[in-house]
């Protein structure tokens, strides 16, 4: 399906504020992709669809994940994690996207995962720092992002994990594994210090 058509469908599906956020993620993801050597067209497509399922009912997300997603572990954790895999299912089934790199960037945009690709990092980080975002700590995450994808993501995930723990919520183990992975990658790239 042509990107213009997908854009129209996503805009129809989302409340205004979420559509504005989505356009911010598209812009930020394309810029990060160019900066860090990922494919900016793939970044655009993944960013455009990343929150497509955000306002689906729990039932609809669960049905799509059970029907179309190989890994259903996420269903045992916070419902906020479900819209990524649900949107990946929609991208594949409704929008006929077959590129697994794009699908993974949509699928893991909230949780992150061990071994995440540069494209996955780009979309996940863009989601934290796009210019419409305004939450406590966003400036710190933006400043870390200037140091590199891993640095920005570690700061973002640290904030999310701290929030979840403070609220007494469960943590999806893949998020912890993602953070450990990013720390190792950052150290390997920077000769041992974070
Ligand atoms: O959809 P957005 O609001 O743009 O952002 P998102 O997809 O990154 O985040 C959705 C929320 O999911 C985030 O604010 C925290 C929540 N969440 C719940 N459990 C977990 C989690 N996020 C991560 N990374 N890991 C969890 O286990
Ligand atoms: Fe999201
Ligand atoms: Fe988002």
Q: Whose CA is nearest to atom 15 of ligand 1?
A: 160
**Can you give the pTM of this predicted structure?**
0.97
Polymer length in residues for the chain: 194
**pLDDT above 80 (res 15):** yes
Question: Domains in the chain: how many in total?
Answer: 1
**How far is ligand 2, taken at its centre, from the CA of residue 35, in Å?**
22
Lowest mean pLDDT among 123-132, 170-179, 183-192: 183-192
Cα(1)–Cα(117) distance, integer angstroms: 24
pLDDT for the residue 191: 82
pLDDT for the residue 194: 64
**pLDDT above 70 (res 132):** yes
**How far is ligand 1, taken at its centre, from the CA of residue 81, in Å?**
6
Domain that holds residue 126: 3-190
Instruction: Please choose from 110, 138, 159, 171 the residue to mutate so as to test ligand 1's pocket, defined by most ligand atoms within 8 A of CB.
Output: 110
CATH number of the domain that residue 59 is part of: 1.10.3210.10
Instruction: Please choose from 76, 160, 177 the residue to mutate so as to test ligand 1's pocket, defined by most ligand atoms within 8 A of CB.
Output: 160
**How far is ligand 1, taken at its centre, from the CA of residue 191, in Å?**
31
Q: Would you list the DSSP string of 42-100? A: HHHHHHHHTTTTTTS-HHHHHHHHHHH-S--GGGGS-GGGTHHHHHHHHHHHTS----H
């Amino acid at each position: 399906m042509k990107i213009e058509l997908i854009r129209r469908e996503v805009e129809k599906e989302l409340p205004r504020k979420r559509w504005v956020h989505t356009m911010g993620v598209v812009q930020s993801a394309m810029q990060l992709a160019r900066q860090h050597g990922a494919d900016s067209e793939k970044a655009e497509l993944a960013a455009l669809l990343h929150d497509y399922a955000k306002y689906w009912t729990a039932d609809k997300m669960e049905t799509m994940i059970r029907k179309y997603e190989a890994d259903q572990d996420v269903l045992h954790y916070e419902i906020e994690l479900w819209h990524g895999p649900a949107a990946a299912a929609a991208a594949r089934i409704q929008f006929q996207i077959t590129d697994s790199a794009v699908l993974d960037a949509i699928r893991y945009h909230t949780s992150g995962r061990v071994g995440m690709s540069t494209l996955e990092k780009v979309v996940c980080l863009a989601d934290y720092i796009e210019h419409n975002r305004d939450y406590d700590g966003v400036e710190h995450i933006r400043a870390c992002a200037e140091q590199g994808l891993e640095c920005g993501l570690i700061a973002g995930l640290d904030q999310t994990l701290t929030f979840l723990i403070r609220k007494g919520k469960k943590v999806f183990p893949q998020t912890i594994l993602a953070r450990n992975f990013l720390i190792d990658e950052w150290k390997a790239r920077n000769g041992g210090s974070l």
